Amino acid sequence: MATTRSIFLQGIRDGVPIGMGYFAVAFSLGIIAKKAGLSPVAGFISSFFTRASAGEYGAYSLIAIAASYSELAVMCVITNLRYLLMGASLTQKFSEGTSMLKRILVACCITDEVFGISIAYKGNLAPAYTFGAALFSTVLWASGTMCGILAGGVLPTSLVSALSVALYGMFIAIIIPPSRKNHAVLASVLIGFTASWICSILPLLKGISAGTRTIVLTIVIAALMAWLRPVSTKKGTFGPIQGTPQKS
């Protein structure tokens, strides 16, 4: 049986590629933070506790124009609402004996990529795994912001931002294996991609922020697939479509 230490180290290992991608993205954020007047230490601390590219970009933009604290808080809540859904989803991965403190700490560790590898963890999610992945990737994320501030715009932002393509590659690597094994997961992924693209071009919907569209689509698609292909709590696998007779 795997020990807590080995699980923690496994999380760190799986967090290495995520952290490398984070460093490149956070570097470009650091350049923006520099223009907003943040010091390297302030940039490191803000990124260490935020870890959200859209949220930090919005925060630094508001700081640059001397926005109020209330405006800053509201913006961060709205842009990061998707993590509420991710946290709710991860609650289904914990064993019944997982303490409330560990559940809260795991929720604080969630980023898009850390959530992806945590939800794909085989069996019940061990909090130590998420802690390990989050620790390594968070340090590189915060370090990237700090280095970007130190660089002060020496490198073109477009060049650094291009490196963030690696994050999309990691997302693909996360969703492809379960999609190949389960048609319900594959259907959810395809429906999500298609619906997101349609919403981005329809006149009445393309004006809605990407974050809001993501939240709405996640709720709708997840509810639909939960109704059509409920998860068996006994075997941990997807059950038949409701209304379909089951073999005894």
**146-200: per-residue pLDDT in tens?**
998 888 756 666 666 665 565 566 567 667 777 888 888 888 889 988 998 998 8
Q: Please give the residue range of the domain that contains residue 27.
A: 4-166
101 & 160 share domain: yes
Is 246 a domain residue?
no
Contacts of 93 (CB under 8 A, 6+ apart): 118, 119, 121, 124, 125
* Span 210-214, average pLDDT: 71
Tell which wins on pLDDT, 96 or 239: 96
Is 226 a domain residue?
yes
* 34 alpha carbon, distance to own chain's centre: 25
Main-chain dihedrals φ then ψ at residue 106, nearest 5 degrees: -65, -40
64 & 8 share domain: yes
192 & 220 share domain: yes
Is 173 a domain residue?
no
User: pLDDT at residue 236 above 70?
Assistant: no
145 & 38 share domain: yes
132 & 73 share domain: yes
In this structure, which long-range contacts are made by residues 99-106, counting pairs with CB atoms below 8 Å and at least 24 apart in sequence?
102/127, 103/127, 105/131, 106/130, 106/131
User: pLDDT at residue 9 above 50?
Assistant: yes
Is 63 a domain residue?
yes
Is 133 a domain residue?
yes
User: pLDDT at residue 202 above 50?
Assistant: yes
107 & 42 share domain: yes
The count of domains in the chain is 2
82 & 156 share domain: yes
225 & 103 share domain: no
Q: What mean pLDDT, rounded, does the chain reach?
A: 81
197 & 231 share domain: yes
**56 and 63 in contact (C-beta within 8 Å)?**
no
Verdict on whether the full-model pTM lies above 0.75: no
Is 247 a domain residue?
no
123 & 205 share domain: no
3-class state of residue 65 by DSSP: coil
Is 177 a domain residue?
no
pLDDT one-digit tens code per residue, 17-50: 899 888 888 887 888 888 888 999 999 999 999 8
User: pLDDT at residue 128 above 90?
Assistant: yes
96 & 197 share domain: no
